Structure 1
Amino acid sequence: MRATIASLVSNALLLIQQAAAAPTDTDTWNETTVDISGDSSADSFSVASIYDWTYRRWNGANYACKCYPGDPCWPSTLQWNLLNATVGGNLQISIPPAASCYNTFQGLLGNISTYNAAQCADVHANYASEQWQIDLPTAGLWTYFTNDTCRPTTNPTDSCTGGYFPTIYIKATTIAHIQAGILFAKNNNLRLIIRNTGHDFLGRSVGWGALVINTHSFKDISLTSSYRGACNYTGSAITVGAGVQAFEALSKLHSLNPPKIMVTGECATVGVAGGLVQGGGHGPLTNFYGFLADTALEFQVITADGVLRTANAKTNPDLFWALRGGGPSAFGVVVQATYKTFDDYSSSGTTFALGPANVNNNDTLWWDAIAKFHSYSNHFVDNGLYIYYELYPGLSFRVQPVVGVNKTAAQLEAVLQPLFNDWTAMGLTFDKTTTTYSTFYELYNALFESEVAGDSALTGGWAFSKTDVAKNNAGIIDAFKNVLNNGALLVGHMWNGGHGLPQSQWADSAINLRFRNVSDKLITILPLSGNAPLAEKEAAQRVLTDVVDGGLRAAGPNGAAYINEADPFQPNWQTAFWGTNYPKLLQLRQKWDPTGVFYSVSTPGTEKWEQIEYGTRLCKKL
């Protein structure tokens, strides 16, 4: 039998101290030396497994690592069978979505015959579908961080390996299943991933050799017209399970008479109780009600000790604060969340675009038009508008939509008219369409487009403050040019997280206070195959971090980065993501998860954690 959790923690800490004092020469510190790369130029490392840590040496440094298949500390078949019985037979081997197009899937646990013609046809037909991928147990919607080693193919004899996909998953259907998975990962020092939709740009839903707990089956929704809880709020509210997606919650609210709405992301397929709110959760209603985190009333959350806890303004208030924007997969597994809801209103939306023909293929004129558009950022958000836009190489600029909640078409166009007047004076011709809908819900469904799954890219981003736009719009546009000139794309979201939220409530959540003065939050996208050569990946990451996003940071020194849509490898990520809130978040992470059961890249307390050996093993640097 394994030791108790307390003794495991004590032993692990003791071993880390011993390892830190051990000789750093590979031959004396370790038992065996192995070259994992197959070429003589690679670093060598060795393994000495003691208790539940595996010690590695990589790039001249010593690490204590989680346990993986083949390590002496990897659980035995008996232990896995016992876990499977505990979770009702819902423990399964993780297989990449496209494995059915290959004769054999070569995973960490051995080879599996996988070819199935009908299933392969389904893969080819649906691989780009978000919901199809979401309903799979361990898929990541963007594939870069899976290593793209098993994409759809028409040649079944091709090689399909696991890449960075997880190894095993629990399709949890009860709270007890989640608790069992957390404790099993903790007791056996396994890398643990919490996955609902896989709706993530940063690879947090996948990870080499990991155990996944899938929470997507938790679909309960309940509504109340008069909330009674641990705060002064007594209005309407919605309570959702961990697996509920935005379109499901909004549909339920719309069925009421009169209809209600809630803050969600702009993408209808995102889950609303997990990573979205733990990262903050911005969307088309942020100008009015703040982030999704600002509307949270209570969470039911399982912490790293396996205990189900209530977190609200009176019970575990520090945990409640941290879960509201303090970082996804950092403090616990949210199994249920309760949010404020609001009256729905008739709303108007506008779409417009500028392409090469609109500017007679004049590059200078096109950029002047973009500069003029962006100079109105503060004006737009101060007047309650939300704007989603895309900027691509080839003089392609598209706005869909501009959202005017509780505005008529005339009121919305009145806010936009100064821009249109300036464009007309510049000699531009352009088409615009404005439509009024009876509710925001109908506008949301009509104008926000579904996103595509299966793409591979590095993602970064930065948010510009109102101060930066007012003082340095020309510099911001130069940074935009730099992004496109280096092969990346731009997606912009104009909103202000403090516009409609009383200033007295700004600090009630862990969200970076700088977002209360933002007027434009950008995502940068650098297309790159996940199975590109390592040198190419490293070069692309440097371009994204230092050049593409580096230019944006320099142009917007008063801005911030949004943890769910940014480069996790940027310098000073602690300040960029959380500003002055970071020291408190670090203390809370040490309180609620002192041994690192949960992990998500560049979240509080992960400074010493790295994925070594070419992005595989999750280890703590000694």
Structure 2
Amino acid sequence: MSHGPRTTSAFGVWIAALLALPASATSAYVNVDIDSGDLLSAKLQGLPSNLAKLFAPESSNSPVVNASRCKVYPGDAEWPSDKAWSTLNKLSDDRLLSPTPQASACYEGPNYDPEKCEAMTATWGRSYSHMHDPIEMMSPVAQGMTCLPPNVFDSHNCTRGGFPLYVINATKPEHVQLGVNFARNTGVRLVVKNTGHDFLGKSGGKDALSIWTHWFKDIDYLEEYTDEKLGYSGPAFKAGVGVQAFEIYKAAHEKGRAVVGGEGETVGIFGGYIQGGGHSPLTSLYGTGADQVLSFEVVTADGKFVTANSTSYPDLFWAMRGGGGSTFGVATSVTVKAHPDMPTTASRFSFTSEKIGNETFWAGIRSYVDYFIPNADAGTYAYFVLIPNVWTGIFTFQMSPFFAPNKTLEQTQALLQPWFTQLNELGIQFDPNITHFDSYYEAWRSSFPLEVVQKVNATTGSRMFPRANFETEEKREELYQNLRQSSENNRVQVHFNIKAVDPANADNAVNPAWRPNILFAQQAVRWPVNASNEEILKIRQEFQTGDMQRWRDISPGAGSYLAEADRLEPNFGQAFWGDKYPRLLELKQKWDPKDVFFATTSVGSERWRVESPGNLPNENGKLCRVDQ
């Protein structure tokens, strides 16, 4: 195809040039007063009818396509022709890519390049090496493990596996519309990718068409934004969905502001993060990320480009604030509240059981549990991990960090001192390293570790433990014993002592389990790197019926966080959305009746199943209906 998708070699040159451009040159969201539907219609004029219908928006007389059991895949009679793909490329301003996995440079074939492989392998575990890639996910287990650096996991060859086949590098709403319409009208599987941080691998899909939103990078500061229905009047930021945490935090700091976003610096916080709820170092003060949203610009499943807010498409607005990404539409920009910048204090330290013994170590952890409620109520955010070592029998605690926004050094010391006194009395030595910063941005930038690509032999489950688990000595002891049991079962644990305040007029789809939450807890199960599919599946299932079920049993009616969870989470609708799930199902049927959008464990996804080899929960298989 003379005008077809870009080849891998051309892509490499093109992306290097793109990265060299300023953000304003690579991305722009279109303001709502520009009718992108008309722009799209103009593009379709003059096309032969058989091609134009592939890109046309939904209408009352649109035919039902692909009534077969599975989405359309290469080799199927319904797979779009080369001419159709070439036309999609032309209509999208030559932004259709056909990239290959990064690790293809390490395997025999047309992309083999030992020097490139060595350079890529050296940084493969860092999120910065993946965030600008159009297909790479930071969850290799969810991708399907089909093309990884050999020193990480030797797949012996490189196949596409769970990676998309084509990618639209969207920078305008009409690019998104073209992708949505093409997928709906052809039956090809559609996925949406921003940076690829989701633990469950929702930004991938075997041989799918992907809409890559990473380069929607504009940021506008609005000094005064008023929404009487939401009860908000104050400053705001309107940001393209590709804006990442390190970008919006810096922009906010320059205006003397702070915004609610994740602790991970490379997360694209206006995509799946904010649409799924999103916890933040500021959540104990202001609520979840979704609670901050004032407006979305979004392409819906029928191909329309609309503004969803409290008065325009309010039900869509409700659903997209917490209902999950890749479900109701593709957002191109989000407007969020801006809060005053604030001084912040942070503490980072660690201790192990090596010299003090396991019982003393665990006595120190038990004493900490007593302070979870007062610390969360004080508006702090504690990010800590428990690391077991089965070979040495040593346990490690790391506070990374205890984060106290809008707290002075003295106030933070006063909060921590009662627990620190108990640790000292137990003979546990540590350096609290309590540091005060003049701004939230400086504290955030100095305190949190860079997020990494997930391991190739592990998966994570999570649970929100509500206030009820901490209100009595008996319940605190019960929770502590369960955390200790998980460590003794060799589960690495990551914890966030946090509460999600419920801002005024914050009626949205955010999991109600966030509101009484005091501890958001994660634990990971590991398996041998060379384990068979059968062994992996058995280990993962036993993890759910064992360690994860123990956590559920002591927190009845609570839930889990949809972006940091296990694909095997049972009854995910209740776990991720509680009693809001029935309404979300109704809105999914209203806004996407043909299931154009799908992501694993998303609203309505129980109607579909990725039929992966070995029945493993990954994207390395066709997406098919379960009721046919």
- TM-score, scaled to structure 2: 0.85
Q: Structure 1 residue 554: deviation in Å?
A: 1.2
What is the CA-CA distance between 1:125 and the residue it aligns to?
2.6
In structure 2, the gaps of 5 or more residues are 1-49, 389-393, 614-619
Counterparts of 1:297-336 in structure 2, within 5 Å, are 297-336=294-333
CA distance in 2, matches of 1:423, 1:454: 32
Match 2:499 to one of 490, 496, 499 = 496
Cα–Cα, structure 1 residues 292 and 613, in superposed 2: closer, same or farther, change >3 Å? Answer: closer
Residue of structure 2 in register with 1:81 after alignment: 86
1:423 CA drift (Å): 2.1
Partner of 1:505: 505
Contact 1:144/1:530, CA 8 A, preserved across alignment: no
1:42-191 → structure 2 map (5 Å cutoff): 52-54=66-68, 64-104=69-109, 113-153=110-150, 158-191=156-189
What is the distance in 2 between the residues matched to 1:454 and 1:523?
14
Which residue of 179, 189, 192 corresponds with 2:190?
Answer: 192
Alpha-carbon separation, structure 1, partners of 2:479 and 2:154: 49
Which of 381, 384, 407 matches 1:386? 381
- CA gap of 1:409–1:166, structure 2 versus 1, over 3 A, is same
Distance 2:531 2:136 in 1: 19
Residues 458-469 of structure 1 correspond to what in structure 2 (within 5 A)? 458-469=459-470
Tell me, what secondary structure is at the counterpart of 1:396?
Answer: strand
Partner of 2:617: none
- Per-residue deviation, 1:229: 4.9
Q: CA RMSD in A?
A: 2.2
Distance 1:8 1:546, change over 3 A: farther
Give the distance between the partners of 2:235 and 2:521, measured in 1 at CA. 32
Three-state SS of the structure 1 residue aligned to 2:465 is: strand
Match status 1:253 vs 2:276: no
Matched residue SS, 2:334: strand
Letter in structure 2 aligned against 1:469: F
Query: Relative to 1, partners in 2 of residues 1:10 and 1:226: Cα closer, same or farther, differing over 3 Å?
Result: same
What pairs up with 1:202-601 in 2 under 5 angstroms?
A: 202-229=200-227, 231=229, 232-256=231-255, 259-357=256-354, 360=356, 362-393=357-388, 394-453=394-453, 455-456=455-456, 457-471=458-472, 472-498=475-501, 501-502=502-503, 504-506=504-506, 508-528=507-527, 532-601=531-600
Quick one: which amino acid aligns to residue 557 of structure 1? P
SS at match of 1:160: coil
Distance 2:343 2:289 in 1: 21
Query: Sequence identity, in percent?
Result: 34
Cα deviation 1:502-528 (Å, max 9, x = unaligned): 4x434x111122211111101222235
Q: Distance in 1 between matches of 2:155 and 2:327?
A: 41
- In 2, Cα distance between the equivalents of 1:554 and 1:486? 17
CA-to-aligned-CA distance 1:376-414 (integer Å, 9 cap, x gap): 111110122110000110311111111111111111011
Say whether the 8 Å CA contact 1:94–1:165 is kept in structure 2: no
Contact 1:149–1:531 (8 Å) recurs in 2: no
Distance in 2 between residues matched to 1:458 and 1:191, nearest whole Å = 25
Task: Identify if the C-alpha distance between structure 1 residues 613 and 347 changes in structure 2 by more than 3 Å, giving closer, same or farther.
Answer: closer
Amino acid at match of 2:523: T
Offset from partner CA, 1:354-383 (integer Å, 9 cap, x none): 2124x52x2222222212212211111012
CA distance in 2, matches of 1:97, 1:350: 37
For residues 127-174 of structure 1, give each alpha carbon's deviation from its aligned partner in whole angstroms, at most 9, with x where no partner exists.
Answer: 122122010111001211122221124899941111222222111122
1:160-199 CA deviation, whole Å, 9 max, x = no partner?
Answer: 1112222221111221111101111111111111001011
Query: Matches of 1:571 and 1:160 in 2, distance apart?
Result: 32
User: Do 2:130 and 2:137's aligned partners in 1 also have CA atoms closer than 8 Å?
Assistant: yes
Letter in 1 for 2:482: A
Q: Is the 8 A contact 2:525 2:540 kept in 1?
A: no
Contact persistence 1:476–1:556 (CA under 8 A): no
Checking the alignment, whether the CA contact within 8 Å between 1:279 and 1:564 is kept in structure 2 is: yes
Question: What is the CA–CA distance in structure 2 between the aligned matches of 1:405 and 1:346, rounded to whole Å?
Answer: 7
- Whole-angstrom CA distance in 1 between matches of 2:148 and 2:170: 27
- Local SS of the residue matching 1:235: strand
Residue in structure 1 matched with residue 4 of structure 2 by the alignment: none
CA distance in 1, matches of 2:496, 2:594: 37
Native 8 Å contact 2:437 2:443 kept in 1: yes
Amino acid at match of 2:85: W
**Which of 295-304 and 204-213 deviates more?**
204-213
Amino acid at match of 2:199: F
Q: Give the 3 Å change call, closer, same or farther, for CA 211–487 of structure 1 in structure 2.
A: farther
Q: In the alignment, is the contact (CA less than 8 A) between 2:145 and 2:155 conserved in 1?
A: no
SS in 2 for 1:461: strand
Q: Distance in 2 between matches of 1:433 and 1:613?
A: 48
Deviation at 1:474, TM superposition (A): 1.9
Task: Answer yes or no: is the 8 Å Cα contact 2:499–2:518 preserved in 1.
Answer: yes
TM-score by length of 1: 0.86
- Structure 1 distance, partners of 2:346, 2:261, is 17
Q: Distance in 1 between matches of 2:274 and 2:482?
A: 30
Q: Structure 1 residues 186, 440: CA separation in 2 closer, same or farther (over 3 Å shift)? A: same
Q: 1:613 to 1:348 in 2, by over 3 A?
A: closer
SS at match of 1:266: coil
For 1:528 and 1:215, the matched residues in 2 are separated by 34
SS at match of 2:249: helix
Question: Which one-letter code corresponds to 1:338 in the other structure?
Answer: T
For the 8 Å contact 2:277–2:510, the answer to whether it is kept is: yes
Aligned partner of 1:29 in structure 2 is none
2:604 counterpart residue number: 605
Report how far residue 455 of structure 1 moved: 2.7
- Bigger mean CA offset, 284-293 vs 224-233: 224-233
SS in 2 for 1:227: strand
Kindly tell me: are residues 235 and 431 of structure 1, through their superposed partners in 2, closer, same or farther at Cα, counting changes over 3 Å?
same
Contact 1:299–1:320 (Cα < 8 Å) also in 2 = yes
Task: Indicate the larger mover: 472-481 or 73-82.
Answer: 472-481
> Helix, strand or coil for the counterpart of 1:274?
helix
Amino acid at match of 2:448: F
Contact 1:389 1:491 in 2 (8 A): yes
TM-superposed deviation, 1:464: 0.4
2:336 alignment partner, SS class: strand
Partner AA of 2:405 in structure 1 = V
| CA distance in structure 2 between the aligned counterparts of 1:220 and 1:349, rounded to whole angstroms | 31
Post-superposition shift, 1:458? 1.2
Equivalent residue, structure 2, for 1:48 = none
